[in-house]
Amino acid sequence: MLEPQRHTQATTLGWFPDLKQLALHIDNIWLALEIGNSRLHWGLFIGETLHSAWDTEYLPKSVISQLAQSQTLDDLLLQIFPTPNKTDEKAQHQKHTSFPPSPHLPILLCERLRQRLRSVQVSPSPHPPIPSSPPPLLLASVVPSQTAIWETYPNVQVITLNEVPLKGVYPTFGIDRALALWGAGKTWGFPMLVIDAGTALTFTAADANQCLVGGAILPGLGLQFATLGQKTGQLPLVEISQMASLPPRFALNTTQAIQSGVIYTFLAGIKDFIQAWWNLFPQGKIAIKGGDRTLLINYLQALYPDMTTQLIVEPNLIFWGMKEISMANYK
């Protein structure tokens, strides 16, 4: 399987060839926010470089209105990631769930950036300007109630479907699917199929002409377990985290029977879509994203190793799509 280093690692400041060049970009810090049905996905960009990416839970309305008052980037990042005091560090960490990099990384890196910039002479000003009051926020959301809350942020631009140059889309097509497909295709080429293992599992494909072929939507892994737990009289709520390895297919207890039913049909369904895709486009590429991508890839690898080597795993596809759109807007 390909996990391209260039994209999946949070780019460190060292990525910039020299500090003067970095200083030129310091005014060009912007935040990308994708609102999914489970949580928020954040990207911190310096110019065209994705500097870091992380996930948080939905933020309360009160925090969002405070963000609008932020005078500096530090203020803003502190709102998104309140600095935990020593006693409730663990609680804070759990509240602001994230994958690595740590939620504090942007703050630490911004501080490091400031320190380094202070030591660089950049004409005409000895201290290059630090971005003032809320940096631009590029927003893509599939949750209208959340979009409404974030529209109160002063420097927000909500991306709509007509800004994504993908051809042949239908009016109710999800902006997350459009951006992920666009980002993947622009990065690795078309034809492209994106599999998003998020709240919903989605398949979304475009042909060599960058035209939507179509796709499919079904309940994601978490939703499948949750629905069985919630909508039946005597099935327990099974958590994904309880499944340390593939369960026996023919299970002899309830928990494993649920795990087996959900996971084996999930994987078989994905395999079937992949094969159908390759029947249509033998050279078609496939990229996988979403909160359950790692689990999925590990199990796909165990069951169908040959197929898995051809999959591109990339959590930040939507941010590549957003970057393309923002670059096009500036041209």
Ligand X SMILES: CC(C)(COP(=O)(O)O)[C@@H](O)C(=O)NCCC(=O)O
Residues that bind ligand ADP (CB under 6 A): 36-39, 97, 198-199, 220-222, 240, 290-292
- Binders of K ion in range 143-182 (CB under 5 A): 176
Q: Measure the N-to-C terminal CA separation of the chain; round to a whole number of Å.
A: 35
> Is-contact 180 198, C-beta < 8 A?
no
Rounded least distance, CB 243 to ligand ADP, Å = 10
Q: CB under 5 to 8 A by kind: which of ligand ADP, K ion, ligand X, none does 47 bind?
A: none
| Closest to 199 measured CA to CA, from 221, 215, 181, 179 | 221
What are 53's strand-pairing partners?
Answer: 43
Helix (H, G, I), strand (E, B) or coil at 309: coil
- Binders of K ion in range 207-266 (CB under 5 A): none
Rounded least distance, CB 236 to ligand ADP, Å = 17
Nearer CB in complex with K ion: 198/222: 198
Distant-in-sequence, close-in-space partners of 23: CB < 8 Å, separation ≥ 6: 117, 120, 122, 128
| Closest to 128 measured CA to CA, from 24, 44, 18 | 24
Catalytic residue (choose from 176, 272, 292, 306): 176
- Binders of K ion in range 24-63 (CB under 5 A): 36
Nearer CB in complex with ligand ADP: 60/168: 60
Q: CB under 5 to 8 A by kind: which of K ion, ligand X, ligand ADP, none does 240 bind?
A: ligand ADP
Nearer CB in complex with ligand X: 29/317: 317
Rounded least distance, CB 10 to ligand X, Å = 22
| Closest to 181 measured CA to CA, from 276, 269, 287 | 287
Nearer CB in complex with K ion: 176/292: 176
Chain position carrying tokens 């629905």:
227
Give dist(CA 31, CA 136) in Å, integer: 6
174 is in an annotated binding site: yes
Give dist(CA 291, CA 289) in Å, integer: 7
Q: What is the dihedral of CA 284, 55, 217, 276, to 10 degrees?
A: 20
176 among known catalytic residues: yes
176 is in an annotated binding site: yes
Give dist(CA 50, CA 325) in Å, integer: 14
Which residues are tagged catalytic? 176
State the binding site for K(+): 196
State the binding site: 34-41, 170, 174-177, 196, 199, 254
State the binding site for ATP: 34-41, 199
Q: Tell me which residues touch K ion (CB under 5 A).
A: 36, 176, 198
